[in-house]
Structure 1
Amino acid sequence: MTKDDLGCHYHALVAAWTRMEVASRFEYSSTNLPYKYRPKQVSQWISQSRRGEPPGVEDPSQYAIEWQRWWDYLQPSWRKKDVDGRWMTSGNYGGGGKEWGNLYHWGVNGVLSIVASLYFWGRAVRLRPEFSAAWEAAVQDVVWILEGMALYYEMFKGKF
């Protein structure tokens, strides 16, 4: 997921994901993130044991819709949307950061799938920059969540 340089937003995502994994002491989860609404490219990548060429995204605008539906489903109950329908990233993490809902899955079965999904999408928008705004917004939102998960994992040592 670092073969292609997808720019500063993606570098921030990889850094936040790394921080979260370090904070969790590279904990492994035997359960997967929920597959409900998951984009088919992510399912394809998982079924190939996360190896080989990343699946392509032929229609970035359709992928954006599918990805957002999945992301919305994964959100903890305390997250709220603003008047424009975007997830709010201001203020504190709700629930003291103790409740991460469907996102609380670590290792290869967890948040890695979200990072990978953004990599697949980012490769497509790199070739079609007119679709980059939605991708950048998604990356920034995931960075905010991963930083929050890392912060609270560091504070509570994983014991909520």
Structure 2
Amino acid sequence: MGSSPPTSTAPAALPRTHAAASTLPPHAPPVASTRSSTACSTAAAPSAATVREKPLCPPKAAQWFIDAHAQMTRQDLGCHFNAVIEAWTRLEAASRYEQGPTNLPPKGRPAQVGAWIRTHRGKRGSNPKVMDPAAFAVAWKSWWDFLQPAWRVKDGDGKWSVTGGYGKDGTKWGNLYQWGVNGTLSLLAALYFWGVAVEGQGELETVWEAEVIDVAWMLEGMAAYYERFNRKF
């Protein structure tokens, strides 16, 4: 399983109030989503959560998290991506916004994510654009497949199964088991850049949304484990 999450004498709290001002350079105002709210009630995965309102940033979060949260919510990408943000927030709050032992493995990672990291995660330049969503989808799936824990299996149509709950009692997360600025934030960045590029583009957007739902399911399981682990201490 690797290193354990940072521990504490109290479970993580997630106050749902607005965060302090970000230190990011000024950008355009937040952009509302054009995605249909009806899609939120018909998730591709029965267990996938949906969050209709944009998740708020905990006011006592670390500055790196406040900055990242501001970036990942600048454009509203809809209820399924909001569920990813919500699960990531829970995970990082349970980890006390500390840094994990290493980085999320980059094998197969879309080039745009590496470019974003080199700009100090958007602080020294604009976010990269996804000019070829189909090629990005191929790179994303290669990376996401590599990161999956050994207990995950694919169903008959080649998609990761979300039936039967989380394997190994929800305690083994393989290469995904990283937290902090070098952890699962890179997944959110990839999905965000991709989602901005395909909004309103039919099948390209459908492919993106299916991946978002799968990431939300995995991060929800990880967040529950991190929270449960910390309550033992």
TM-score by length of 1: 0.93
AA at the equivalent of 1:108? V
- Partner residue in 1 for 2:37: none
- Partner residue in 1 for 2:115: 44
* CA root-mean-square deviation: 1.5
Q: Take 1:27 and 1:151, find their aligned partners in 2: how far apart are those partners?
A: 17
- Partner residue in 2 for 1:79: 152
- Partner residue in 2 for 1:114: 187
For residues 75-125 of structure 1, the C-alpha deviation after alignment (integer angstroms, 9 at most, x for no partner) is 000111101110111222111122111101101100000011000000001
AA at the equivalent of 1:143? A
- Partner residue in 1 for 2:216: 143
Q: Mapping of 1:4-15 within 5 angstroms?
A: 4-15=75-86
Q: 1:144 to 1:128 in 2, by over 3 A?
A: same
**Which runs of no fewer than 5 residues in structure 1 stay unpaired?**
none
- Residue 157 of structure 1: how far off its partner (Å): 1.9
**1-10 vs 74-83, which moves further:** 1-10
- Residue 23 of structure 1: how far off its partner (Å): 2.2
Which one has a larger percent helix, Structure 1 or Structure 2?
1
On the 8 A contact 2:102/2:182 being kept in 1, the answer is yes
Q: Take 2:120 and 2:102, find their aligned partners in 1: how far apart are those partners?
A: 15
The structure with the largest alpha-carbon Rg is 2
On the 8 A contact 2:81/2:216 being kept in 1, the answer is no
Tell me the percent identity.
Answer: 57
- Residue 4 of structure 1: how far off its partner (Å): 1.0
On the 8 A contact 1:30/1:109 being kept in 2, the answer is no
Q: Take 1:61 and 1:133, find their aligned partners in 2: how far apart are those partners?
A: 12
Q: 1:88 to 1:158 in 2, by over 3 A?
A: farther
**Which runs of no fewer than 5 residues in structure 2 stay unpaired?**
1-71
Which structure has the higher relative contact order (CA within 8 Å, separation 6+)? 1
Q: 1:106 to 1:68 in 2, by over 3 A?
A: same
- Segments ≥4 residues shifted beyond 4 Å: none
